[in-house]
Amino acid sequence: SVAVKQLYNLIKREKPPPLFNPRPIELRSDEIVRGVVGLIGNTPLIRITSLSDALGVEILGKAEFLNPGGSVKDRVALRMIDDAERQGLIRPNSESRIFEGTVGSTGISIATVARARGYATTIIIPDDVAEEKAKALIALGSQVERVRPASIVDKKQFVNVAKLRASEYGRSDLVTGAGPSTVPQTVASQSDATTHVHPKEHSDSKGFFADQFENTSNYDAHFDGTGPELWRQTNGHIDAFVSGAGTGGTIAGVGQFLKTMDENVKVVLADPEGSGLFNKVKYGVMFDPKESEGTKRRHQVDTVVEGIGINRLTKNMELALPIIDDAFRVSDVEAVAMSRYLVMKDGLFVGSSSACNLFACIKLVKKLGLHNGETIVTILCDSGNRHYSKVRFFIVFFLH
């Protein structure tokens, strides 16, 4: 808009700073963080008072919803972008554009970090994800493309479309629209994955497919960040780590780090209904064909728990399989009941995957008969605000 352009002109420097500033300006105190990305990580660990007191076990949740982009995925977005810059795949403040296929949280994190680094983003999401996430992406200036929910073998599946869009970006033979721009774009498009807008070729117009599922920068973010933070925050007293898996990055990276520090730490998967990972961990196969639940999850529009559960083995998840000691199934109803319980007892409004993690903590405690102050750590991936439209029916239901 004219007003935004005027603002840009007002603060534009005569001579732009070098792309890679060799001498960053010193901060005046170590209590000041360097931009928005300085807020990522080092999240507090919350003792879940109601559950810990009731069970006689310390249940500790890592407050990842306090990251600036609102979820654990900020760490992953930052690491993927950092690594891509180091490898020369993208260049800050250039015409590079980052593409990602996501059910929402990773897109919001990528859009946040990308903006801070001077990149444009195109995020592909299935059109059944909670409406709040699509709105947040558009508000962050991301180009959003919604596709119908589909299985990974379908080329119109959101991850496949993101990969395709990245590979097409900058190809002059595919020009149908305007050139790339560093001015924020806010295009929300409904797509059948065949229509597209492609920028003209430009020396710097590189498309980068972040690929959270297969990109092991995801694992590294947790092995180098979340894991060591948990270890430090508990003074190394951890009996079990419980986590759901979407890409598998969290459970693989944190789990591997904790096992490296102490091989007795139990790594436990919390898996929602319809995901194939539980069966893979328990029985070595993704799903029982008789149950046919392996294909259900991505087609089920009324699935409540978002972000975890998957029916294929990603590279990040492959790194987790050898270290997972046990797995628990958590139903949608159990996850929502836990989410309401936490609001009522602790004043904590977490998202459905966090609630799923906490329900699995209880199942673990009951199975092992723990009650002597053992420490179980888990991840509070994001806030309930981000899921409200999907859970409001249950909220009304549980309140009556």
Among the listed residues 101, 199, 249, 276, the single contact to ligand PMP using CB under 6 A: 249
Dist CA 252 CA 306 (whole Å)? 19
Q: Which CB, 103 or 370, lies closer to ligand PMP?
A: 103
Q: Does 272 bind ligand PMP (CB under 6 A)?
A: no
Phi-psi region of 26 (alpha: psi -120 to 50; beta: other; left: phi over 0): beta
> Is position 245 an interface residue for ligand PMP (rule: CB under 6 A)?
yes
Place of tokens 């994001």: 382
Torsion angle, alpha carbons of 60, 65, 66, 72, to 10: 90
Any contact of residue 330 with ligand PMP (CB under 6 A)? no
Rule CB under 6 A: say whether 246 interacts with ligand PMP: yes
Instruction: Pick the binder of ligand PMP from 250, 279, 378, 383 (CB under 6 A).
Output: 250
Q: How far is the CB of 351 from ligand PMP (least distance, A)?
A: 5
Instruction: Work out whether 217 is an interface residue with ligand PMP (CB under 6 A).
Output: no
> How many Å separate Cα 131 from the centre of its chain?
16
d(CA 328, CA 255): 16
Residue 63: phi and psi, rounded to 5, are -80, 70
Find the shortest distance in angstroms from Cβ 72 to ligand PMP.
6
Q: How far apart are the two ends of the chain, measured CA to CA in Å? A: 47
47-54: which pairs have CB atoms within 8 A and are 24 or more residues apart? 48/342, 48/346, 48/348, 48/358, 49/345, 49/346, 50/341, 50/342, 50/345, 50/346, 51/358, 51/361, 51/362
| From candidates 226, 247, 256, 375, binder to ligand PMP by CB under 6 A | 247
**Is there binding between residue 382 and ligand PMP (CB under 6 A)?**
yes
Kindly tell me which of 71 and 96 has the beta carbon lying closer to ligand PMP.
71
Print the binding letters for residues 89-108 with ligand PMP: x by CB under 6 A, - otherwise. --------------x-x---
**By CB under 6 A, is residue 207 in contact with ligand PMP?**
no
Under the rule (CB under 6 A), what is the footprint of ligand PMP? 71, 103, 105, 244-250, 306-308, 351, 353, 381-382
